Amino acid sequence: MRVDGILFDKDGTLFDFRTTWNTWAAGTIRELSNGNKDVAEAIAARLRYDLKTSAFDAASPVIAGSNREVAELVGEVLTERAVEEIELFLTQTAAKAPLAPAVPLAPFLAEMRQRGLRLGVMTNDTEYGAKAHLGAAGVDHLFDFIAGFDSGWGPKPDPEPLLAFANLHGLSPARVVMVGDSRHDLMAGKRAGMQTVGVLTGMAPAEELAPLADAVLPDIGHLASWIESR
C-alpha cells in the first residue's frame, strides 16, 4: 500500500531508549530523593527502575506513560510535593536528557522528505520536551507535526493525536505509517486505521510488537526499504 506520511514515536524510536533514559533516570531519582536512599528506592520501585544496574524494567510505566502519569507515581512517594510541581521538574530535566539517536537523524529524515513524505512526531512526552529534543538534535525543522500528550489530542494509545496529523495535512490514515517501539504506539496506529511498524530500539521485544505490526524492523533506518516494498 502506498505511503504518504510517517508518524514517529520519539523515545525508543527516533532516540534509543536505554542509552537516553537509563542515564537520565539515575540522576533524576537522585535529585528527587535528595540523597535519601529509602526514598530513592521507593521512587525506583514505582517506576520499575533498577538502581543497581541503572536500567528500566521492560514493563516500566515510564516507557509508554505520559509525564503526568510518571509524576503521579513519584507523587505517591513524595507526598509533601504537589504532583504539578513534580511534573514540571520532570519536564524540565527530561528536556535536557542525553540524546542517543537511533540512526543519524538528519540524513535519514532528509531522505524521507525527498520522497515526498509528510513527517510527524507524536510522543507521550510533553510537547515542550519533544521540541527541545528534536531541536537539540537539529532536526525539528524536518517535521510537519510535533505533538505531545498535552498538545490537545490526548496520549497514545488513543487514536486522536494520530488522526490530527493525518487531518491537518490532508492524508488518508490508511496511507500513514505509525512507527513506534511500544504496544501503545502500535495500538494507537491500528485504532487510527494506519499502517504500523515496530522498531527494536526501545524495550519491547519483537514478539511483543509483532501481533500489532505490519513489520518489525531493527531500527528506523530500515524504513526506506520497507516502504519501497509496499
Q: What is the pLDDT along the chain (230 residues), one digit of tens a residue?
A: 799 999 999 999 999 999 989 989 999 999 999 999 999 999 999 999 999 999 999 899 999 888 999 999 999 999 999 999 999 999 999 988 888 999 999 999 999 999 999 999 999 999 999 999 999 999 999 999 999 999 999 999 999 999 999 999 999 999 999 999 999 999 999 999 999 999 999 999 999 999 999 999 999 999 999 999 88
Please report, for the chain, the start and end positions of each structural domain, with discontinuous segments joined by +. Answer: 5-16+101-228, 19-94
Cis bond upstream, residue 161 (ω within 30): no
The superfamily in CATH containing domain 5-16+101-228 is HAD superfamily/HAD-like (3.40.50.1000)
Calpha distance 61→57 (Å, rounded): 9
Q: Is residue 40 within 8 Å of 29, Cβ to Cβ?
A: yes
Q: Calculate ∠ Cα 74-208-228, nearest 5°.
A: 115
Calpha distance 122→9 (Å, rounded): 5
* Adjacency order of strands within the sheet including 5-8: 145-147, 118-122, 5-8, 176-180, 195-199, 215-217
Calpha distance 18→99 (Å, rounded): 10
Q: Is residue 72 within 8 Å of 83, Cβ to Cβ?
A: yes
Calpha distance 162→116 (Å, rounded): 19
User: What local confidence, expressed as pLDDT, does residue 230 receive?
Assistant: 81
Tens-digit pLDDT profile for residues 85-109: 999 999 999 988 888 999 999 999 9
Q: Which residues make Cβ contacts (< 8 Å) with residue 92, sequence separation at least 6?
A: none
Tens-digit pLDDT profile for residues 153-168: 999 999 999 999 999 9
Q: What's the predicted TM-score (pTM) here?
A: 0.89
Calpha distance 137→130 (Å, rounded): 11
